Structure 1
Amino acid sequence: MSLRVTRLGHLGDGIADGPVFVARALPGEVVEGEIEGGRIARPKILTPSADRVAAPCRHYKGCGGCALMHGSDDFVAGWKVDVVRTALAAQGIEAEVRGPATSPPASRRRATFSGRRLKSGPVVGFHGRGADTVTAVPGCILVEPALLAALPVCEAITQRMGSRKGEIRFRVTASEAGIDTDFEGGRATDGADRVALAALAEAHDLARLSVEGEVIVERRPPRQSFDGIGVVPPPGAFLQATAAGEAALRRAVTDVVGGARRIADLFAGCGTFALPLARQAEVLAVEGDPALLAALDTGWRHAKGLKAVRTEARDLFRRPLLPDELSRFDAVVIDPPRAGAEAQTAALAEAQVPRIAAVSCNPVTFARDAALLIGAGYTLDRVEVVDQFRWSPHVELAAAFRANHIPA
């Protein structure tokens, strides 16, 4: 039986009537294949879409890292913008949606690789689509070449620290000083392991090597630059996936809060927005992880020409900043995790902070929180879509909110 794909789901699968999910299919395509559990895992494409292209990566069939590499760049870009529009429409919101700003190939500066020790030797790479199998990815065209150069040391660590039953996860980040690697999932390290791991870091010229956040050796501080301001994040810290994506988000945020004298940066991380904004304004950076704030504070103290940056370690889900705390700020930047920040947004709505720059990695929770602000009298001026997870269904955005008593 043949089926026609009508749309894409939020994970990038095609969806036909039923619904039946069709792996790596595009809207308008006619497919056939065995349906198991409401899904066709290996469809035969009978009528391909005009938007279908040959995947440019040789690992595409076995690797699950890029779900949309079979779609043209224009198609994927348009689909991501539509994802945002659809999420807004579900909340009854209309707004100008711009973009996307798409990061180029080979620009991912951080990645999580999986490692397994097999009878044939260690294998390090990405999981196969919907599988526990690890696929080696030499020549991957998604990540920076520096990350690929780190695969041999990850393999050596897997051989020493891995088990036949378990898996090691490597958080690998490119820094100005070289590769920063943190791993978890191997057996417990003893003294001999620490010596051996330090030797591997030396042999492979790592900047830093850590295990579950505990530093084994730091040969050079793995410095990151936030618009020219240096910060050394703690091991495994969150970082925007690409430099181009970070720059696009920063431009959008700066455009919203430009001219403000006092800014609160909520879910500030280690200073992606707070530190560059301190060139123009006094900033309060609020973050739940004290280690991230310590890195931010050190970066601020070593930078020149910045205004005052205060930090506060606070769980904004359990203890959001209250309206009386927010009322003294001219603008707020908020960049929550995927769950959004419903309680904090409600406090912002009550406080009527003049301008809000909202950054989100989940259009659905963003739209939910946006509805709270709009219901309290804010105008959503625009939404900028940012695609720093190229070839994936992941969508990020930055939005501009204005209290209605503030002129456009």
Structure 2
Amino acid sequence: MATRNFYWERAVTEQITITRLGAKADGVAESASGPVFVPYVLPGETVTIERDGPRANLVSVDAPSPERGAPFCPYFGTCGGCATQHMREGFYRSWKHGIVAHTLRQARIETSIEPLVDAHGEGRRRVTLHVRFPDRAMHVGYMAARSHHVIEIDHCPIAVPALQRQAPVIARAIGKHLSAARKPLDIQITAAETGFDVDVRGHGPLKDQDRLSLIDLAADLDLARLSIHGDVIVERRPPAIPMGRAAVVPPAGSFLQATRLGEETLARFVLEACERTKRVADLFSGCGPFALRLAEKMEVHAVEGDKGAIAALDKAARATPGLRRVTSEARDLFRRPLLGPELNAFDAVVIDPPRAGAEAQARQLAASKVPLIVSVSCDPATFARDATILIAGGYRLERVIPVDQFKYSPHVEVVGVLKREAVKKRR
């Protein structure tokens, strides 16, 4: 296997032995000048590299590990989207489980960790392709690792079948349509139940004539919705996403779990933890993947800083028969976390913050009387930080479940179930 990144200027070729993997899936080798980081390698392998400083470019694998497998994507090693297709499944699962275990050990959290749950399903239901004009030609694809160089692709095997070949077709058509401005474009394409939902970033405001021509293009491509920076150009069909009994139309370009199975898996663990509760607060609720499913059995108060997302949740709740009472609140939980008296009205709190975690809200929860907290996180490090705060406040971390929604990447999600051991005495 030989790979080459496009940010290299001067390099020294040498042969080294990989000793371990880092958290980002790079192999680590020790040298006289310090650690060297090499992508697409495994512990114990002898490899030839080119390097300039601590980061290296893999030239060849000279003595492969028995844990090395054959990548299934022809772009692996050049496209920066996947980092682990060279790992055999057993090794991969052990390594990913180990990321969570190592992070919790570093935080001095002692608890058992359940087996890694595969939540890839059919694949990613959303991809972002890049359109660039570094020369006279238009280039469409994914970025190379640690680079702004576009690797052109004609299909993406880790996407859902509907997106695998159609996403590059859509991105090229839109890029060509907007090529006169020669601006760098990022085109986010989501496979919704009713068709493709496309949001284009990087172009800026459009003239009326351009908007009209994009409406025609959306019809030619049979898009459900087309938007520029979240500004809807045309919605030919509402791009609905099922969430339990409900069907939600998220705001253009808003957050959505990467895979359908990933969302369903995370929601299943949340529902299992909350099954005996009557009133739940869903904090950082987004457009409702947990709240709307919880509302099939209990009352829910959803809180989210994105006004468009909370409005979509509220609309879906009102349109879905048979749900329990759902209330919603647009609130910046980083600046205005729910306080103790507000939190104490609930039997359970579900919290699913962005990658930065929810330190301010965790501190308020730690001082509350809430009996049950379900913490969902896309970052083990901030999960551990917030869990440490809760444990210090009197909670016990009873379950930790790693969920592999972002397969073939270093990212791993975590679901943690925390129960209050005893209400703290207050002076």
Range of TM-score over shorter length: over 0.9
Paired residue secondary structure (1:32): strand
Query: Does the alignment pair 1:178 with 2:195?
Result: yes
Superposed, which structure 2 residues align to 1:65-104 within 5 Å? Answer: 65-104=81-120
Tell me the CA shift for residue 355 of structure 1: 0.7
Paired residue secondary structure (1:38): coil
Per the alignment, residue 22 of structure 2 pairs with 9
**285-294 vs 44-53, which moves further:** 44-53
Tell me the CA shift for residue 25 of structure 1: 1.1
Per the alignment, residue 415 of structure 2 pairs with 398
Q: Is contact 1:277–1:283 with CA below 8 Å preserved after alignment?
A: yes
What CA deviation, in whole Å up to 9, does each residue of 1:245-304 have, x standing for no partner? 111101111111111111000000000100100111111100001110100000000001
AA matched with 2:392: G
Structure 2 unaligned runs (5+)?
Answer: 1-13
What CA deviation, in whole Å up to 9, does each residue of 1:303-350 have, x standing for no partner? 011111111111101110001110110000000011111110011111
AA matched with 1:222: P
**36-45 vs 222-231, which moves further:** 36-45
CA distance in 1, matches of 2:41, 2:401: 27
What CA deviation, in whole Å up to 9, does each residue of 1:337-375 have, x standing for no partner? 111111100111110311111000000111011111111
Paired residue secondary structure (2:58): coil
Match of 1:116 among 132, 148, 154: 132
Query: Does the alignment pair 1:44 with 2:57?
Result: no
Per the alignment, residue 207 of structure 2 pairs with 190
CA distance in 1, matches of 2:339, 2:398: 24
Match of 2:304 among 264, 287, 302: 287
**172-181 vs 7-16, which moves further:** 7-16
CA distance in 2, matches of 1:221, 1:105: 24
CA distance in 1, matches of 2:188, 2:260: 17
Query: Does the alignment pair 1:309 with 2:329?
Result: no
Q: Is contact 1:161–1:187 with CA below 8 Å preserved after alignment?
A: no
Q: Is contact 2:130–2:140 with CA below 8 Å preserved after alignment?
A: yes
Q: Is contact 2:47–2:58 with CA below 8 Å preserved after alignment?
A: no
CA distance in 2, matches of 1:363, 1:42: 28
Per the alignment, residue 130 of structure 1 pairs with 146
Q: Is contact 2:26–2:40 with CA below 8 Å preserved after alignment?
A: yes
Q: Is contact 2:120–2:406 with CA below 8 Å preserved after alignment?
A: no
Match of 2:313 among 296, 301, 306: 296
**268-277 vs 69-78, which moves further:** 69-78
TM-score where L is the length of structure 2: 0.92
Per the alignment, residue 365 of structure 1 pairs with 382
CA distance in 2, matches of 1:153, 1:340: 34
Per the alignment, residue 376 of structure 1 pairs with 393
Match of 2:360 among 317, 338, 343: 343
**107-116 vs 40-49, which moves further:** 40-49
Tell me the CA shift for residue 139 of structure 1: 2.8
CA distance in 1, matches of 2:132, 2:169: 13
Per the alignment, residue 22 of structure 1 pairs with 38
Per the alignment, residue 259 of structure 1 pairs with 276
AA matched with 2:316: G
Paired residue secondary structure (1:401): strand
AA matched with 1:360: S
**5-14 vs 365-374, which moves further:** 5-14
Per the alignment, residue 242 of structure 2 pairs with 225
Per the alignment, residue 252 of structure 2 pairs with 235
Q: Is contact 2:121–2:260 with CA below 8 Å preserved after alignment?
A: no
Q: Is contact 1:117–1:163 with CA below 8 Å preserved after alignment?
A: no
CA distance in 2, matches of 1:150, 1:340: 31
AA matched with 1:39: R
Tell me the CA shift for residue 121 of structure 1: 4.3
Q: Is contact 1:260–1:281 with CA below 8 Å preserved after alignment?
A: yes
Q: Is contact 2:377–2:383 with CA below 8 Å preserved after alignment?
A: yes
Per the alignment, residue 176 of structure 2 pairs with 159
Q: Is contact 2:348–2:372 with CA below 8 Å preserved after alignment?
A: yes
Q: Is contact 2:195–2:224 with CA below 8 Å preserved after alignment?
A: yes
CA distance in 2, matches of 1:7, 1:57: 24
Per the alignment, residue 61 of structure 1 pairs with 77
Per the alignment, residue 10 of structure 2 pairs with none
AA matched with 2:36: V
CA distance in 2, matches of 1:90, 1:162: 49
